[in-house]
């Protein structure tokens, strides 16, 4: 998955070679791609499995699966159990990356403050002790260097599009409260930016009856699917769309 996302960034920078994940030999690979004709919409989530996708619970994902090119993405991370922020940090770094954990607990994704991602310094420090030579902000710096306009919608997207300094490269927009507003925000973003990244939320483990604060799995899946569907509604036929569970 890191290689695919690096390829997307490379295509946006009009054929530039972009550093990808390290190979087994320890060498950094490069991704070269031709320019994408239209804007790119990356919709990311966490914890969604293919077995979750159904016409009843996740109608938007189900409809997309009937016509889109499909793949099984490897989500193996640095830690045995991944956190939502790890996936977004992996997008940022282009290789496996795990965010800082306080007492082994996943950090909560929160809104940027004046364009800066909270906890960025701690995450950069955490990456130093990991074996993948991950550089937080690598994708953002490539976009900045290539002059690619970008919009991040939601806190996970802000992590993905942050530069090395932890500030969002491009514009940031919080996720609106209604599906109709989400569609409007994403449509406006696609009209002005080459890359739009949307955080569609996460599905977290909880009790089967929904007594956990996260709610039951079907409830969480429905919420994610609603956001995915709203974002997809904003894309016209010329948009390159990538939906992934990170």
* Residue 86 within a domain: yes
* Residue 12 within a domain: no
Contact 176, 182 (CB under 8 A): yes
Residues 87-144: pLDDT tens digits?
Answer: 898 888 887 777 887 767 788 899 999 999 999 988 888 887 777 678 889 999 999 9
CA separation for the pair 203, 220 (Å, rounded): 6
Letter string b/e over residues 44-72, b meaning 16 or more CB atoms within 10 A of that residue's CB: bbbbbeeebbeeeebbbbeebeeeeeeee
Q: Position of tokens 């090395």?
A: 164
* Residue 14 within a domain: no
The pTM of the full predicted model, rounded to 2 decimals, is 0.83
Is the pLDDT reported for residue 43 higher than 90? yes
Contact 220, 204 (CB under 8 A): yes
- CATH code of the domain containing 49: 3.40.720.10
* Residue 158 within a domain: yes
Q: Tokens representing 126?
A: 């955490």
Closest alpha carbon to 135 in 16, 14, 18, 10: 18
* Residue 32 within a domain: no
Closest alpha carbon to 173 in 142, 141, 196: 196
Q: What is the pLDDT of residue 18?
A: 35
**Residue 181 domain boundaries:** 40-66+80-100+110-245
Residues 201-211: pLDDT tens digits?
Answer: 999 875 333 33
Count up the domains in the chain and report the number: 1
Q: Tokens representing 207?
A: 């009790």
Is the pLDDT reported for residue 22 higher than 70? no
* Residue 186 within a domain: yes
Rounded mean pLDDT of 44-71? 92
CA separation for the pair 22, 90 (Å, rounded): 13
Looking at the DSSP bridge assignments, the partners of residue 197 are: 42, 152
* Residue 170 within a domain: yes
Read off φ and ψ for residue 45, nearest 5 degrees: -145, -175
* Residue 225 within a domain: yes
Beta strand 17-22 with 28-32 is antiparallel
Pick the most confident of 33-47, 173-187, 205-219.
Answer: 173-187
């Amino acid at each position: 998955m890191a290689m695919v996302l690096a390829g997307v960034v490379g295509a946006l920078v009009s054929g530039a070679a972009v550093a990808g994940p390290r190979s087994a030999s320890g060498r950094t690979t490069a991704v070269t791609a031709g320019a994408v004709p239209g804007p790119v919409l990356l919709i990311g989530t966490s914890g969604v499995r293919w077995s979750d996708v159904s016409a009843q619970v996740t109608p938007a994902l189900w409809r997309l699966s009937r016509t889109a090119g499909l793949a099984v993405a490897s989500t193996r991370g640095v830690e045995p159990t991944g956190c939502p922020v790890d996936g977004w940090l992996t997008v940022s770094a282009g290789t496996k990356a795990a965010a800082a954990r306080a007492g082994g607990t996943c950090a909560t994704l929160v809104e940027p403050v004046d364009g800066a991602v909270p906890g960025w310094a701690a995450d950069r420090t955490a990456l130093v002790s990991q074996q993948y030579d991950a550089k937080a902000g690598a994708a953002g710096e490539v976009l900045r260097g290539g002059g690619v306009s970008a919009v991040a919608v939601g806190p996970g997207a802000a992590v993905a599009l942050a530069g090395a300094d932890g500030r969002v490269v491009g514009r940031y927009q919080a996720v609106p409260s209604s599906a109709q507003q989400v569609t409007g925000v994403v449509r406006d973003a696609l009209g002005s930016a080459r890359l739009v990244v949307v955080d569609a939320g996460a599905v977290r483990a909880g009790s089967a009856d929904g007594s956990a604060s996260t709610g039951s799995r079907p409830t969480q899946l429905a919420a994610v699917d609603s956001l995915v569907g709203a974002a997809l509604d904003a894309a016209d036929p010329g948009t390159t769309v990538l939906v992934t569970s990170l």
